Each structure stands twice: as structure tokens, then as C-alpha cells.
Amino acid sequence: LKTIVSDIEIPCAFGPAYEGERVRGADLYAQCGGGKTQCTELVKMAEMNDIEDGKVIVDGPDVEDLKEGDTFPMGIYIQVAGREFQSDFEPILERQIHHLINYIQGIMHIGQRDISWVRISKAAIEKGFTLKDIGVVLHAKFHQDFGKILDKVQVTLKTKKADVDELTKRARAEYKMRDERVEKMTDEDVEVFYSCTLCQSFAPNHVCSVSPERTGLCGAYNWMDCKASYEINPTGPNQPIEKGECIDPVLGQWKGVNDFVYKASRGAVTHYNFYSMVTDPMTTCGCCECIAAMLPSCNGVMTVNRDYAGETPCGMKFTTLAGVMGGGASSPGFVGHSKFNITQKKFIKGDGGLARMVWMPKILKEEIKERLERFGKENGIDNFYDMIADETVGITEEEILPYLQEKGHPALSMDPLIG
């Protein structure tokens, strides 16, 4: 017997109308994530008998234990069971958390995976909002939207730091496994890419095209995930795109993709390249994990991740870049991308590839260290990891250039970045 959920019983109004609403400083009561504390999301498949449908557990302090201005850590752990359910569907459900929490009036959600950010407004608190309501919403909407593939949903909201850290560790291992599922595939291997238009509610013209070698810029959807999403919901936000004739193999442009993007962006975007940030790059929405920018005096590029709050050599912090670039336009010289994409083989291949990378925040460099080192080895660049400058070297082009020269960074001897 399928559970039918018609009404969502929470004290706040709920619906797509509230999705774009912001919770600004003056309205803010409390928040978690966003670089202040850890906020992590994980959906996992469970055995039918191990979970109870509709159960929401708040494990740790709830909002009544917070005072105005407080921050708290949170782990959103959702267990799903169903005869039709497969672990391939986990990332798809997980990516819904973003818009579903945003549907609650007075609550704002940004990001995904282990870089989420939830802001709770004073107005929501006055109405009686508690963390349990997040679980109520996710349970109800998962049944409503994915009833075909699931029978039971149980939500645990963890707010004790040690538990959140433990969940985060486990979630990172899961993300890594999902990312690596496309590791051995190439864009040439497949005839079909997938679109993702999940973000059009925020960035109306934005269309992500997801290929094996270019995961979605939010980092949460790769080619396999989009394929699974299309199987679950053939009229949903992930549609197959026949690549069609290849217009430019180096920059990564296909006729079939252009035609699709033109339609899906309602004529706003006529074409874009998968493998270039300099020449007509893919469009960027506000969810991107990282934004790459050109550093002309270093003949190279930099990238900055959402979790780094400091200054960067392009003169803009992540938040400024996301504000300028995140509206769904193609902005030559800049592109949003996932962390995993940095070390995928086609990353900015049309601009010379990853060997162009001259600056990254230290935390990002460390996070993908193993993969950067592998890239160096495979491409005959000794010490590539060490050659990439970070904020400890400098945060302007003038500061990092001598370091790049001293290390003999390959970007300095490449063709000019801009022709």
C-alpha cells in the first residue's frame, strides 16, 4: 500500500512560491553550514524493516535551544526503502533537499552535499518552526514526487557536533564513490548526454549539460545520476540529448547540444563549449561548487571553491563571483564547475587543460591532492601539486607570479591564454 500525502503539516506556508525568497541579515534568527559550521546531507537506501515511514528524529538540540544569532551544526540523514528502490537513486533524492527546504516560507537553503547552508528567519521561528518540520517536508515530498520508486522514508536531523562530523566523514566516502562511477567513461564513449534544468527556478536560462567527463557544476549530478533520474521521471528535468554532429572536438561543442540548449533556455543561449572557460563557456548557476577565472598576467587560470571565504588573485571572492556569474548566463573568462571536474580529463582542455591552473585555495588543493598528483604523473609534470600557488603564497597576480617562475609552472610556457 502506497502512502498518499496530500497535506504537509508544518506551521509555515509551503510551496514553490517561496523558493527564491532570501533570509537576509536583519531577518536571520539562526543558521547552520555556509562555512560557519558543518551542514551535510546524505540519502541512503535502507532495508524495508529497518526504518519506519514518516518517522522524524531530531537527535540533539532543536531551535528552542538556540538564541538569536546562534549557529549550529546539522546533518540531514534520510533513509529510504522501497521494492523499486536502487542505490543509484540516492543522489537524485539528495539533490531535491535544496529546493524542498527552500519551499518552506522563511527558510533558506543554499548548496548541497557537505557544503549546505540553512538560514532560519525570525518570522519562521515566530510561527513555531522547528527542525522536525524539515523532516516532515522531506518525507511528504519524497512520497509525492517519487512514490513510484519508494515506500518508506525516515529522516534524522543530527545536531550534535560529533554526530555531524561522523555523518560528514561517511557522506564524503559516499560522494567519492558516486563521483568515481564515471571515472572510466569518456565523452566519446556515449552518443547521449543529459540536460539538467533543475536550477531554472533560480537561473531561468540556465541549462547544465552533463557528460561523462563533465559532471554538473553543483557536483551532485553526474552522467550516471542524470541517466537514473531520466529513468525515474522521463518528463523530468534530466533529458537525454543526442550529441549529433561534433562542431568542435577541442572546445567541446555539438550541434545536438546547441539545439537542445537553445530550446531549453527559451532562445537565450544559442551555443556553448564543454571544455573551455575562455571561449563561450557553459552557463553558470548559483549552485556551483567552484568558479574558475582567468589570470592573464600569469598566462593561467585560478579556481575558488564555495567553502573558501578569502580574497583571490582575480580580485573577487567566491560570493562576489557567484553573484556576478550565477544568473545562468555564459560569461567568457569564467565558468562554474564541480570540484570533481577539475581532475576530469577534459577540464578546460580547449584552454590548455588543467596544466593552466596556477592558483587554488589551500583547502581545495588538499581535498583533491591525490588526484592532482596523479594528473602531474600522467602528464609528466613533476611536483604539479606543489607548483599551484595558494593563499599562503599570495592573493594577487603580482604576488604569485615569482612563485610560478621559481617553480617552472607549465602555464608560463604555454600558448597565450587569450589569442
149-188 footprint of Zn ion as x/- string (CB under 5 A): ----------------------------------------
DSSP H or E segment with residue 365: helix 362-367
Q: Which of 10, 207, 269, 285 binds Zn ion (CB under 5 A)?
A: 285
118: helix, strand or coil: strand
Does position 208 bind Zn ion by CB under 5 A? no
Block residue for cell numbers 557537505: 114
Does position 199 bind ligand SF4 by CB under 6 A? yes
Does position 335 bind ligand SF4 by CB under 6 A? no
What are φ and ψ of residue 16, in 5° steps?
-55, -25
Does position 198 bind ligand SF4 by CB under 6 A? yes
C-beta closer to Zn ion: residue 159 or 283: 283
Does position 92 bind ligand SF4 by CB under 6 A? no
Q: Give 321: exposed, middle or buried? Use CB within 10 Å, 0-12, 13-18, 19+.
A: buried
C-beta closer to ligand SF4: residue 217 or 232: 217
Does position 108 bind Zn ion by CB under 5 A? no
Block residue for cell numbers 610556457: 413
User: What's the CA angle centered on 189, arms 187 and 191, to 5 degrees?
Assistant: 80
200-219 footprint of ligand SF4 as x/- string (CB under 6 A): --------x-x-----xxx-
C-beta closer to ligand SF4: residue 35 or 204: 204
C-beta closer to ligand SF4: residue 198 or 368: 198
The region of 136-144, 231-239, 254-262, 280-288 touching Zn ion under the rule CB under 5 A is 280-288
Helix axes 223-232, 90-102, angle to 10 degrees: 80
C-beta closer to Zn ion: residue 113 or 356: 113
Does position 232 bind ligand SF4 by CB under 6 A? no
Helix axes 90-102, 132-146, angle to 10 degrees: 120
Euclidean distance between CA atoms 286 and 328, whole angstroms: 8
DSSP H or E segment with residue 104: none
Q: Is the dihedral of CA 269, 324, 16, 57 positive or negative?
A: positive
By CB under 6 A, the count of residues binding ligand SF4 is 13
Report which of 379, 387, 381, 394 is spatially closest to residue 358, judged by C-alpha positions: 387
Does position 287 bind Zn ion by CB under 5 A? yes
C-beta closer to ligand SF4: residue 54 or 327: 327
Euclidean distance between CA atoms 12 and 104, whole angstroms: 6
Residues that bind ligand SF4 (CB under 6 A): 95, 196, 198-199, 208, 210, 216-218, 220-221, 285, 287
